[in-house]
Amino acid sequence: MTKGTIINIPRRFVKDEWGGTETVITETAHQLKAIGYQLESVTTLALSDNKQESIFGIPVKRFGYSYTRLGLSKKHKLLLDKRGGNMFSLPLFFYLLFGKKTRVLHLHTMGRLGAIARIAARLKGIPYVVSIHGGYLGLPKEQLDDMMLPLKGSFNWGKPLDLLLQSAKVIDGADAVICVGENEREKIAAKYPEKKVVFLPNGVDQQRFSSGDATAFTEKYHFAKTDKIILCVSSFTPQKNQETLLRAFAKTHKQSPDLKLVLIGVIYDQDYFDLLARLTIELGVDEDVRFVCNLKFDDPSLANAYAAAELFVLPSLYEPFGIVVLEAWASGTPALCGNVGGLPSFVRNGENGLFFDVESVDSLYQNMTDILQDRKRYNHLQNHALKAVETYSWQAITKRLASLYEEVSS
């Protein structure tokens, strides 16, 4: 007997532009289906022409949308599609309002899409929950300004629409708010003291990432047997800060010529990616840095890359959670990252990971050098990370999510 339908609502949902939000939706959907729920993802046509398809067994419906901006170029629209765009979709609203019977709407976006979902939920008399994936209160101003750059030079004709939708009330009306970082949970709980705000971290497919084939990766990408790989898996945007990693790697490589750097990610910002490519030449490490771009999430090379890596580095200036750290841990690869965003919620400095100053090349350089030279410390981080990751199975995370659905819809 079915437990009802859960509709997930992200800004976009396409295989070619995969990120943490897509992983969370897909992995929890599979677990929820196994215990009797029906799942559907309803989103916009951003980055896709397909109005309907199945992605990893999950039905996806897409609808037309607008940014309500005059003078918005195709390039800037694409940037907004990829990151942070505040879109409006009337057909999506009508589908939510008049579509199939639904137990819970689960929003993975705020702004106008969140607002129309809020209105549809209230008109239908069903609950909705909101997952905060991108720094609702904790995003640094510099990162927010960077995301807003594509809007410059265009005119927002949608201000009356914003007044009608009352986008600011998405959190106010939610039956529950889910945060992937404990720091953000505390901030939102303080701002909305009467609201149910829960910390629910992301999970990891431990079986997949613990069974990667290191040899398959090194042979496919033509590494020598003596090469030691430093790995970073992150989209190519300024927020992800691969520039600092490149500069620190160049310093480390002078001492250890057998080191290689592999940067895996989706290209969200072509200008930033081109900057990184030029920088490898300027630093003299272009033959020692490998870019693996737009690798599909289900490509075996992803798990194989973690298995082949000596060290994983996440240099992000801000990270809502940092699911890639869990993927590294599951593969047995020690991780270095910044003490930013949601990372302190599960990374314990000196125990299962190492923090460095994400704005300091020297800090990252020193931490990479120290851990690569201190095998006892390396093994300590590796062993504790393998133990810590056991608590982040998708089965355990989804069990808590299902309990929340039951609570808000009872």
Second CATH level (architecture) for the domain 206-391: 3-Layer(aba) Sandwich (3.40)
**Domain map (residue ranges) of the chain:** 5-203+394-409, 206-391
Q: Is the pLDDT of residue 282 over 80?
A: yes
Q: What's the chain's Rg over C-alpha atoms? A: 21
- Exposed (0-12), middle (13-18) or buried (19+): which is 36, by Cβ within 10 Å? exposed
Q: What is the pLDDT of residues 248-268, one digit of tens each?
A: 999 999 999 999 999 999 999
Mean pLDDT of 197-218: 97
Residues 6 or more apart whose CB falls under 8 angstroms from that of 123 comprise: 97
Q: What is the pLDDT of residues 116-140, one digit of tens each?
A: 999 999 999 999 999 998 667 666 6
pTM above 0.85, yes or no: yes
Which CATH class for the 5-203+394-409 domain? Answer: alpha beta
Domains 5-203+394-409 and 206-391 agree in fold: yes
Q: Is the pLDDT of residue 145 over 90?
A: no
Strand partners, 156: 69
Instruction: State the amino acid at position 201 in one-letter form.
Output: P
Q: Is the pLDDT of residue 359 over 90?
A: yes
pLDDT band at 273 (very low <50, low <70, confident <90, very high): very high
- Nearest-CA neighbor of 114 among 99, 135, 129, 97? 129
Asked if residue 111 lies in contact with residue 133, where contact means CB atoms within 8 angstroms, the answer is: no
